[in-house]
Structure 1
């Protein structure tokens, strides 16, 4: 079994309906080669536990790296304008990733009916540290990592897309990294509008899709069996 990984991150994410706009996917591809090696594959299915709490996210990660991931949101998020047509809510998350010795069979057999499969087709562009350090004098010695992604997502027969900028590392560095990336990415030539009303995390998006989720009728707590 591998080691537990802990990550502190800032992210700003938007969701839209239907497949990703062609202009948005083209824009990301033009940034450079997409990274699939560190993200299992361009396509994978993750299982999310019902998102009853918008600050808490629990999932079983699919693909080639089976793991349990737990994310907790610190604070309520901060509204930020990045460009003429781009405004979002920046959220701070702390993540623990626990690798698994074997893959559970919940993808095919879930007696509870609670786990929510989310199919993802991802385009992700990572930024080398040398690139981050060149964006702003404040980042000249940063040890942070960052990426931007455009992902098509399907859950509960609903297809949508999400665009996200995420920075990970020491908390003191991350706000400057997100600011600098926003300035670099979301200028006047950015091809789509990303509004404040579209800006929310995965857990809140899933909450909107899962308002009627409840356990299967055959599942009972021990006290009621």
Structure 2
């Protein structure tokens, strides 16, 4: 079974252990509703050097492919600081056995990178946002990300900006900078 959809996305990556102040902010001071319990999992990414517009990963029995459709530029987001919004097209192919999606020889061939994640999510005005702790190559990172599904451009960029800025009014942490703002393919180029 294959699904596809378009999203607006903004993400910041930060090296080190998640600051308690940021964790407490996300748990208690953020607007919107909590989406389920925090989850831990391991995603496996195909590392493609110098290819910031393509993201391929295995996640919990599915193969997910994302293609960056557009870079929508750097913007200011209230208490968060500044970051760059991107538009992505996502495809997801589910396989309960993982056998037909797995490359021959498993993940030993090619440049596959295992990323351990501990993720919490919230939902506010059509925006899903997350705070995730990452471990890759024995290094700790954390990320704040925002995503909105776009159906034939029903959510415009200004609404996305406004929602993130409203959430940012409650943010308690160091200002996030544009050089920290990127999607997983660009981040993987930094850590691999």
In the superposition, the TM-score normalised over structure 1's length comes to: 0.74
Other-structure match for 2:148: 167
* RMSD (CA atoms): 2.2
Aligned to 1:76: 71
Structure 1 unaligned spans of 5+:
133-144, 211-225
| Local SS of the residue matching 2:172 | coil
Q: Distance in 2 between matches of 1:84 and 1:60?
A: 34
**Whose Rg is larger?**
1
1:77-156 map, 5 Å: 77-104=72-99, 110-112=107-109, 114-127=111-124, 132=125, 145-156=126-137
Relative to structure 1, the CA distance from residue 85 to residue 125 in structure 2 (aligned partners, 3 Å threshold; closer, same or farther) is closer
1:199-210 paired onto structure 2 within 5 Å: 199-210=181-192
1:26 partner SS: helix
Q: Which residue of 2 aligns with 1:16?
A: 14
Q: Distance in 1 between matches of 2:35 and 2:79?
A: 28
Distance 1:84 1:25 in 2: 16
Give, in whole Å, the separation in 2 of the partners of 1:178 and 1:33.
Answer: 17
- Conservation of the 8 A alpha-carbon contact between 1:47 and 1:59: yes
Which residue in 1 is equivalent to 2:34?
Answer: 34
> Which digits, 9 at most, give the CA deviation of each residue in 1:152-208, with x for residues without a partner?
011122110000111112224141331221221112x42121111111111100111
Matches within 5 A, 1:186-205: 186-187=168-169, 189-192=170-173, 193-205=175-187
Pick one of 41, 44, 63 that aligns with 1:44: 41
Distance 1:99 1:89, change over 3 A: same
Q: Which structure shows the higher strand fraction? A: 2
Does 1 or 2 have the higher relative contact order (CA < 8 Å, sep 6+)? 2
Provide the aligned length of Structure 1 versus Structure 2: 184
Any gaps of 5 or more consecutive residues in structure 2?
none
Distance 1:36 1:156 in 2: 28
2:188 counterpart SS class: helix
After TM superposition, the score normalised by the length of structure 2 is 0.86
